[in-house]
Amino acid sequence: GNSVTQMEGPVTLSEEAFLTINCTYTATGYPSLFWYVQYPGEGLQLLLKATKADDKGSNKGFEATYRKETTSFHLEKGSVQVSDSAVYFCALMNAGGTSYGKLTFGQGTILTVHP
Amino acid sequence: NAGVTQTPKFQVLKTGQSMTLQCAQDMNHEYMSWYRQDPGMGLRLIHYSVGAGITDQGEVPNGYNVSRSTTEDFPLRLLSAAPSQTSVYFCASGMTGSFGNTIYFGEGSWLTVV
């Protein structure tokens, strides 16, 4: 079956530091990959996505590249801000058919950014 | 443009009580689903629906019922609440087919069973 493994948190950084949150996956076929973000007390928001190998998703300064050879989708940001403090979830979805919409999530990584 | 709307946002139940979490979307999405979020476990799929009148079980369906009488609504029913159902519940929706594979989430419902 599908599975997603994220680096263990929590992650604590100073403002303007470089961020990497590792994500690796196991899946059949060619899944789509996602990063969702959950700010304190709020729901999940789609941060970025990639639907095929070597695609790069990007949004709000965050980037992640779909690496099929290493089954990875690591999240990066060059300079984090206090407002980036949140929980980040890596997820995958198999395309089409009865698998549509069934997201498999990692356990989430808590990020705290200090001024 | 409301997106995915969940109610209530917070609820406290006693063991054995029943309740319904409401979910509505105004994007004409065929696909709707419910997840629960527990610490250290990410989100897990409870039930899902690919259209009105069609529902199916996800990873953790026990103790929950769903129905889909309209495209817009997908309520989740707890038949007899148990402390193990204390969690944060998220409703989600998305388009099927070639129109994209993005799933949109509601803001969550925090449920405590005492």
Structure tokens at B15: 């063991």
Q: Residue B67 forms beta bridges with which residues?
A: none
What is the pLDDT, as a whole number, of residue B42?
86
DSSP secondary structure, B5-59, as one string: EEE-SEEEE-TT--EEEEEEESS--SEEEEEEE-TTS-EEEEEEEEETTEEEE-S
| A13-33 per-position pLDDT tens digit | 999 999 999 999 999 888 999
Provide, rounded to the nearest whole percent, the portion of chain B with pLDDT above 90.
80
Mean pLDDT over B37-65 rounds to 92
Sequence-distant (≥ 6) Cβ neighbours of residue B83 within 8 angstroms = B15, B113, B114
User: In the predicted model, what is the mean pLDDT of residues A68-87?
Assistant: 96
Residue B1 has pLDDT above 60, yes or no: no
pLDDT band of B21, cuts 50, 70, 90: very high
Average pLDDT of span B15-26: 97
Q: What is the pLDDT of residue B88?
A: 95
Query: What is residue A98's predicted lDDT score, i.e. its pLDDT?
Result: 66
pLDDT averaged over chain B?
92
- Is residue B54 packed enough to be buried (19+ CB in 10 Å), middle (13-18) or exposed (0-12)? exposed
The partner residue sitting opposite A100, judged by closest CB among B31, B44, B108, is B31
The phi, psi pair for B98, rounded to 5°, reads: -85, 5
Asked if B43 lies within 8 A of A95 by C-beta distance, the reply is no
Neighbours of A71 (CB within 10 A): 17
Least confident span in A5-9, A32-36, B17-21: A5-9
As a whole number, the mean pLDDT across chain A is 92
Per-residue pLDDT reduced to its tens digit, B91-101: 999 886 655 57
Q: What is the pLDDT, as a whole number, of residue A43?
A: 86
Predicted confidence (pLDDT) at residue B2 exceeds the cutoff of 70: no
Instruction: State the Cα–Cα distance between residues B37 and B21, nearest whole angstrom.
Output: 15
Confidence band for B46, pLDDT divided at 50, 70 and 90: very high
In the predicted structure, residue B3 carries a pLDDT above the cut 60: yes
Contacts with A105 from chain B: Cβ below 8 Å = 42-44
Task: Say which of B58, B90, B102 has its CB closest to residue A46.
Answer: B102
Size of interface A-B (CB pairs under 8 A): 60
Which residues in B lie closer than 8 A to residue A45 (C-beta atoms)? 105
pLDDT of A91 > 60? The answer is: yes
To the nearest whole Å, the CA of B20 is away from the closest chain A CA by 19
pLDDT tens digit string along A50-65? 988 999 999 999 999 9
pLDDT at A76 over 90: yes
In 3-state terms, chain B is what percent helix, strand and coil (to 5)? 5, 50, 45
